[in-house]
Amino acid sequence: MSSLNLDDFTDLIERPDGGVRRDAEARRERQIVPPGSLGWLDELGEWLAAAQSAVPVRPVERPRVVLFAGDHGVAELGVSARPAGGAAELVREVLEGGRPVSVLARRLGVPVRIVDMALDCDPGSLPEDVVRHRVRRGSGRIDVEDALTLEEAEAAFRAGVAVADEEADSGTDLVVLGDVSVGGTTVAGVLVAALCGVDASVVTGRGGLAIDDLAWMRKCAAIRDALRRARPVLGDQLRLLATVGGADFAAMTGFLLQSAVRKLPVVLDGVVTAACALVAQRVAFRAPDWWLAAHDSGEPGQAKALDRMALEPLLTHGVTVGEGAGGLLALPLVQAAAALAAELPEKPEQPEEPEEPEEPEQQKEQQEPGAFEAPAGQ
């Protein structure tokens, strides 16, 4: 029996400040560029102001990429273009600067933090920069067995909460959340299908490396088998993560919920983070107010999850690579919205026109229109 009560998050999470948002809207109406002329940037700036409880909005100066890493046993079925157990190699490539997220982070000056939750490798083989929160070596094959024990799911969830607290305490003002996994999009498909009540085929995508038709069919079958195991535990989100999730998924769910508690805005990257966000929404319905969807990756499961949470992606570039790359592409847009909301000048106040002095009552009567005076001598 778990000692973790997820219902507490419902009471702990508040919505971004509505009064501050109204103040930000009023300030926007006074600025020199007409409201609405900047499109979504107007709304984005107002959202940031509400999240920060600040008008004018503060610049986003200390963002960070946080990636949770893990291997998934379901990858053994050939559902991914990458070999099962290959996430550790991806982690090394990210930290060595050879992945898209590495290039973008370097260009934008954003630090990247990777958290090992369930990598299938010797911990000693990982770079020292990797944060160690591993609860097991690889998550179970969810089509035939649980991903985690309930105790492991709780430990992973608490690790995600701890990482969120560390980020908030260190002064991070926005997090780009992503994953480094093999088999992760299959797990995400199961969670989205289960929580949205749809069939496996509706959420099965091609993954980051565009698998072929045979691999897609294997993936769809794996999701369908795992769905049968997920449905009986839908009412218990922690048990759901233990049954058909994984250590990285449980950690990201805890991270998202605690970030909302700490009023730390989070940018969601792709289908994996969207699936975790959907689980978190089931825990606390106000939590999605603290998240932004970075982009539309083209994964059907992501589109389904974002639609359920009423989150509109900021970009539509079809970036499927994962690892936070899509989230980083959206970061300059968020920073631009903050700068425009804070730095655009307000329109000068128009001087009031002086009132015309009223004429004396006696003079008004003398000049009253329609008055007739007879000519003298008549």
Rounded mean pLDDT, 47-69: 96
pLDDT score at 200: 93
* CB-based contact 283:239 (threshold 8 Å): no
Residue 319: pLDDT band with limits 50, 70, 90: confident
* pLDDT at res. 209: 64
Helix (H) or strand (E) holding 218: helix 213-230
pLDDT tens per residue, range 63-114: 999 999 999 999 999 898 888 999 999 999 999 999 999 999 999 999 999 9
Contact 248, 155 (CB under 8 A): no
> Please, are residues 315 and 268 in contact by the beta-carbon 8 Å criterion?
no
Helix ranges, 56-183 (H):
87-96, 100-108, 150-169
Is it the case that residue 143 has pLDDT exceeding 50? Answer: yes
Residue 372 — very low, low, confident or very high, per pLDDT cuts 50/70/90? very low
359 a catalytic residue: no
Contacts of 275 (CB under 8 A, 6+ apart): 187, 188, 189, 191, 192, 249, 301, 305
% of the chain beyond a pLDDT of 90: 79
Report all structural domains of the chain as residue ranges with CATH numbers, in order of start.
8-343 (3.40.50.10210)
Q: How many CB atoms lie within 10 A of CB 149?
A: 13
pLDDT for the residue 140:
96
Cα–Cα distance between 302 and 304 in angstroms, integer? 5
pLDDT at 327 over 50: yes
Helix axes 100-108, 87-96, angle to 10 degrees: 30
Q: How far apart are CA 293 and CA 329, in angstroms?
A: 11
In SS3 terms, 11-40 reads as: HHCCCCCHHHHHHHHHHHHHECCCCCCCCH
Does residue 363 carry a pLDDT above 60? no
In a 13 Å sphere around the CA of 21, the CA atoms on its Cβ side amount to 13
Q: Distance (Å, rounded) from C-alpha 57 to C-alpha 47?
A: 9
What's the start-to-end Cα distance of the chain, in Å?
Answer: 116
Is the pLDDT at 369 greater than 90? The verdict is no
In this predicted structure, what is the pLDDT of residue 208?
63
pLDDT mean over 183-189: 95
Q: Is residue 282 over pLDDT 50?
A: yes
Q: Say which amino acid occupies 87.
A: A
Q: Which residue has the higher pLDDT, 321 or 305?
A: 305
Confidence at residue 320, expressed as pLDDT on a 0 to 100 scale: 80
Mean of pLDDT over the chain: 91
| 4 confidence band (pLDDT: 50, 70, 90) | confident
Looking at the predicted structure, is the pLDDT value of residue 362 above 90? no
Region of residue 207 (phi > 0: left; psi between -120 and 50: alpha; otherwise: beta)? left
pLDDT at site 323:
86
Predicted local distance difference test score (pLDDT) of residue 370 = 47
* Whether the Cβ atoms of residue 261 and residue 173 lie closer than 8 Å to each other: no
Helix (H) or strand (E) holding 216: helix 213-230
Geometric angle at alpha carbon 152, from 321 and 177, rounded to 5°: 30
- The C-alpha atoms of residue 355 and residue 194 are separated, in whole angstroms, by 69
Residue-level pLDDT at 374: 43
- Whether the per-residue pLDDT at 43 is higher than 50: the answer is yes
State the average pLDDT over residues 319-340: 92
pLDDT given at position 360: 58
How much is the pLDDT for 361? 58
Confidence of residue 252 (pLDDT cuts 50, 70, 90): very high
| Active-site residue (options: 152, 167, 299, 323) | 323
Extract long-range pairs of 143-147: CB within 8 Å, 24+ residues apart. 143/74, 143/77, 143/222, 143/225, 143/226, 143/229, 144/225, 145/73, 146/229, 146/242, 146/243, 146/244, 147/72, 147/73, 147/187, 147/241, 147/242, 147/243, 147/244, 147/245, 147/246, 147/247, 147/249
Total residues found in the chain within this entry: 378
Do you find a cis peptide bond into 265, omega within 30 degrees of 0?
A: no
> What local confidence, expressed as pLDDT, does residue 376 receive?
47
Q: What is the mean pLDDT of residues 285-301?
A: 94
**pLDDT exceeds 90 at position 187:** yes
Long-range Cβ contact pairs of 374-377 (< 8 A, separation 24 or more) = none
